[in-house]
Chain A
Amino acid sequence: EDKVVQSPLSLVVHEGDTVTLNCSYEVTNFRSLLWYKQEKKAPTFLFMLTSSGIEKKSGRLSSILDKKELFSILNITATQTGDSAIYLCAVEAGDNYGQNFVFGPGTRLSVLP
């Protein structure tokens, strides 16, 4: 059975701290790994990773994938209160397009002023 695990499940930091969120997976026929930020309702897309070792960056956020060790990390530097959210990791897997996105439980990040 395909599985995505995230750690930690929750994290409390102060503004200015740097955080690293982890995502590991066990799936059949990996296609891509995606990170989302969920603040209130709709998860919003952050990154999609398909190749090992290539860092993707967007402002203070960055992510990298290791397809050999089957994990990804999401880094947030100089955290701000607006970064408080649930960060979801998802893996697309399987033989057929678009039919199998497996989500992890999420990491709830709280950034205190």
Chain B
Amino acid sequence: AQRVTQPEKLLSVFKGAPVELKCNYSYSGSPELFWYVQYSRQRLQLLLRHISRESIKGFTADLNKGETSFHLKKPFAQEEDSAMYYCALSAWYSSASKIIFGSGTRLSIRP
């Protein structure tokens, strides 16, 4: 069965400190992984996806198939990074795809 695990419910760091939000997945096929973010009073939106291998708002995430992980990192946290972050996996069944989310990590940046 497909599963996405985010072990931390809440992560609180000081502004300027490095951030790492953990994500592990379980999936028998070739994984397609995403990070979504939900800022206060806004819709859930895509932050980045592993296929793109890009850095968005200073965040990066590397897929590690050996450790089945897709941790989200940023070297220097900003106050505007405070939000709810969700790791997600796109799982394929025949020709249909479903997107499974983890339980989320609330990131709080202290001034």
Whether chain B is bound by chain A comes out as no
The chain A residues found within 8 Å of chain B, CB to CB, are none
